[in-house]
Amino acid sequence: MPTMILYGYEEPEARELQKKLENLLNTQIDILSASSMENATVTEIITKRPGEVFLAHPFKVLVFVDFEDEAIEKTVYNFPKEVSRPIFCGLTPENVKWPFGYLLEHLLEEYHL
């Protein structure tokens, strides 16, 4: 099942995003929150499925897990205007091993935020 790892979203906005993308892609999507999980690796977040703590942050991140390329492209180009647009991230063999906080630093540096 496609899964989104979300960071920076409060729960109502995360749930709204989930519903809108499920409608857009016509599939069920699971969501995991990476809030307060900066020391856990991306793999640990995916496999341990931490509690549902959703905390607001000035920047938002959406990590695509098990999404087909076509679904990623459709999501990026048709992202709901009613939801705060995140930094999008796909998994790589390297970044899946990183602590989530390190991934955040890398993304912020890359996007100059």
pLDDT tens string 23-69: 999 999 999 999 999 999 999 999 987 667 899 999 999 999 999 99
What pTM value is reported for the model? 0.94
Q: What is the percentage of the chain residues whose pLDDT exceeds 90?
A: 91
Compute CA distances 3 → 71, 112, 113, whole Å: 12, 26, 25
Report the alpha-carbon distance of residue 35 to residue 6 in Å, rounded.
8
